[in-house]
Amino acid sequence: MAKAKKPEVLVVEDEASVLLTYRMMLEEQGYIVSPALSSQEAEALLGKKRFDLVLCDLSLEQNHTGFEVFERVRKRDPKVPCVMLTGYANRETTERAEHAGITVFFKPIEIDDFLQTLKAILRNSHG
């Protein structure tokens, strides 16, 4: 029986310590994680491979946002699930994300809930 492919996850977060925390947590769960500290790094990684899931902070370097990253992801593959991580999103931002089919998590995240949600998202996206 073929072993299931490990999900490939792109994590975009402009705070290195937070990015490392997400990476360690997700790798511990068996995910293959590609970290990016900026929207430019994310763009470069998106050009190289396809991801099963994209996690991205809302506020990135300078005036870049997670929405820009998600738009690039969806241009390449509209079916890739996207999850936004934010410490502060107003109602308009949350509604924009939900309208675009982006799951929103507020920091600090509740780890068990977060991991269960990611598993469910991946299960649903792969049938």
Taking only the tens place, the pLDDT of each residue in 44-96 is: 999 999 999 999 999 998 889 999 999 999 999 999 999 999 988 889 999 99
**Is pLDDT of 119 > 60?**
yes
**Residue 94 DSSP SS3:** helix
What one-letter code names the amino acid at 77? D
What local confidence, expressed as pLDDT, does residue 70 receive?
97
Going by C-alpha positions, the residue among 40, 42, 57, 37 that lies closest to residue 10 is 42
Fold of 8-125: Rossmann fold (3.40.50)
**Is pLDDT of 3 > 70?**
no
62: left (phi over 0), alpha (psi -120 to 50) or beta: left
Structure tokens belonging to residue 97: 């994300």
What local confidence, expressed as pLDDT, does residue 22 receive?
96
What local confidence, expressed as pLDDT, does residue 67 receive?
96
Going by C-alpha positions, the residue among 89, 39, 91 that lies closest to residue 61 is 39
**Is pLDDT of 109 > 70?**
yes
- Contact by Cβ (8 Å): 13, 22: yes
